[in-house]
Amino acid sequence: MTNKSGVKLGLLLPLLFLLLSSPGYAMHSIVTLTTGGSSTFSNQTSQSLAFDDNFFVYHPNHSSSALNLIVGGFIGEEYTFNSLYTWQFGVAFYQSSNSSIRGEETQAPADNLQAINYWNYQYKLSSRKLLFENKIFYTLRKRYHPYLLVGLGESLNNTSGFQVTPQNSGEVATAIFNNHLNKSFTYTLGFGLDIDVLKKMRIGLGYRFAGLGKYNLGTGTLDTGLGGEVFLIPALKPTNVFNQELLIQLTYVI
């Protein structure tokens, strides 16, 4: 340890001791149950794949199912520094139901780019998040607690059920992508209000914006329909996915 580090640590420890031993300081364990709705949207651009003298271009609609169920929970500690400010931190887990990601696919042979076939495609996307969350509360009239929230962690983004529907007749074969599970960095920013309803119980309403990170579909297959010959093609890789979440929370102070 360098001299400078020792000086900083020597100044920090007495300050921390004074903070934790101050009369206004209090510590409690917290358990929170969460439910609500989330709206998922993907920040995608069109993606092109070339394989076996065919071009595939995927145009996302930037839309999803209107509202998806989200459930989760939080466990952590709450530090009350004085009558106005409280810091809450701990570990949270959230699970969202499937969102439906849709778009349009165009397919054409390399030797005749005017012979375009059009398909509608869709697939399901679900996400699970494990986060380290921090909330800073401000207390009004002793029972109202508006807060700001920041969370950092990992998301598990799962794609499944890729399907295509032809827009024009005559085309019977196109790429189908497999299910895939992808891990990615995630963050959450939000705000809300908790209200004391009993001595150790609160009910709250919050809004959150969550960046769920990158995800992709699995390797694709192209069945030509000619003697059962199947080709493998690269995975379809959208860029990033985001959630807007409106949550109801029930908190118990242990």
Residue 205 pLDDT greater than 80, yes or no? yes
C-beta of residue 99 within 8 angstroms of C-beta of residue 68: yes
Output the pLDDT for position 63.
53
What's the total number of domains in the chain? 1
Residue 251 pLDDT greater than 80, yes or no? yes
Question: What domain range is 122 assigned to?
Answer: 26-253
Closest CA to 43 of 210, 155, 174, 176: 210
At residue 6 the predicted structure's pLDDT band, cuts being 50, 70 and 90, is low
Tens-place pLDDT, residues 89-130 = 999 999 988 888 888 888 887 677 667 888 898 888 889 999
Asked if residue 206 is part of any domain, the answer here is yes
Asked if residue 224 is part of any domain, the answer here is yes
Q: Buried b / exposed e across 141-152, counting CB within 10 Å, b at 16+?
A: eeeebebebebe
- HSE-CB for 35 with a 13 A CA cutoff: 2
Asked if residue 164 is part of any domain, the answer here is yes
How large is the average pLDDT for residues 28-54?
Answer: 82
Asked if residue 16 is part of any domain, the answer here is no
How large is the average pLDDT for residues 23-47?
Answer: 81
Asked if residue 17 is part of any domain, the answer here is no
Between 29 and 169, residue with greater pLDDT:
29
Out of 10-14, 44-48, 162-166, the most confident range is: 162-166
Q: What is the CATH number of the domain that holds 138?
A: 2.40.160.20
- HSE-CB for 174 with a 13 A CA cutoff: 27
Distance of CA 228 to the CA centre of its chain: 39
Asked if residue 6 is part of any domain, the answer here is no
Residues in the chain: 254
Q: Which pTM does this prediction carry? A: 0.79
Out of 95-109, 204-218, 233-247, the most confident range is: 204-218
Asked if residue 43 is part of any domain, the answer here is yes
C-beta of residue 218 within 8 angstroms of C-beta of residue 190: no
